[in-house]
Amino acid sequence: MNFMRQLISLISVFASLVEHPGDGPAKKEKVKQMIKDVLPDEEWKIDPEFFDLILDVSIDIVVMFLNKGLWKSAMKVLAK
């Protein structure tokens, strides 16, 4: 479970770094590559295709929450 907590934290940080309007699929690929670059291979001894699926779903969920919460609140503050 610690691995998933770390993964979600990394996704949150990396998604925030690449955030800009539009270009969703390209941003998702950037985040996936950043995750793979940061995590040592021994940390995720699972099938690469399965890991990609985990990343796809995790990124979608984290970005959905960021869109509904943090980023939405930040835009309201910046618009004032």
Note the pLDDT of residue 59. Answer: 95
Average pLDDT per block of 10 residues along the chain, 80 residues long: 84 91 92 89 76 93 84 56
Host domain of residue 45: 2-10+24-79
Pair 76, 48: CB distance under 8 Å:
no
pLDDT of residue 28: 95
19: in domain: no
Tokens of 8: 């979600």
Q: Is residue 31 part of a domain?
A: yes
Q: How many domains would you assign to the chain?
A: 1
73 C-beta neighbours (distance < 10 Å), count: 10
pLDDT at residue number 66: 85
What is the per-residue pLDDT for 19? Answer: 85
User: Is residue 36 a contact partner of residue 48, using CB atoms and an 8 Å limit?
Assistant: no
pTM: predicted TM-score of the whole model, two decimal places: 0.78
* pLDDT at position 14: 95
The predicted pLDDT at position 11 comes to: 93
**Residue 18 maps to a domain:** no
Q: Residue 17 domain-assigned?
A: no
In a domain, 16, yes or no: no
Q: Is there a domain that residue 15 lies in?
A: no
- What is the rounded CA–CA span in Å between residue 8 and residue 14? 10
The residue type at 68: K
